[in-house]
Amino acid sequence: MDVLVVGCGHPDRGDDAVGLMVAAGVHRAAPTVPVHQIADPVHLVALLSGHDLVVVVDAATGTGPPGVTHVHEVGDTPLPVPVTSVTSTHGLSVSDAIELSRRVGGLPRRLVVVTVAGSRFALGTVPQDAVRDAVAPAVRRVLALVAAGGGASLRTEVPGRAR
Sketch out the chain's domains with CATH numbers. Answer: 3-147 (3.40.50.1450)
pLDDT tens readout for residues 15-34: 999 999 999 999 999 999 99
147 has pLDDT over 60:
yes
Q: Cβ distance 136 to 116 under 8 Å?
A: no
pLDDT score recorded for residue 16: 94
The burial of 144, by beta-carbon neighbours within 10 Å (0-12 exposed, 13-18 middle, 19 or more buried), is given as: middle
Q: What is the pLDDT of residue 15?
A: 96
**Cα–Cα distance measured from residue 100 to residue 82, given in angstroms and rounded to the nearest whole number:** 19
Report which of 31, 9, 20, 15 is spatially closest to residue 143, judged by C-alpha positions. Answer: 31
Distance, CA of 47 to CA of 134 (rounded, Å)? 25
Q: pLDDT tens, 74-126?
A: 987 777 654 543 455 556 788 889 999 999 988 999 999 999 999 999 999 99
Predicted local confidence at residue 159, as pLDDT: 54
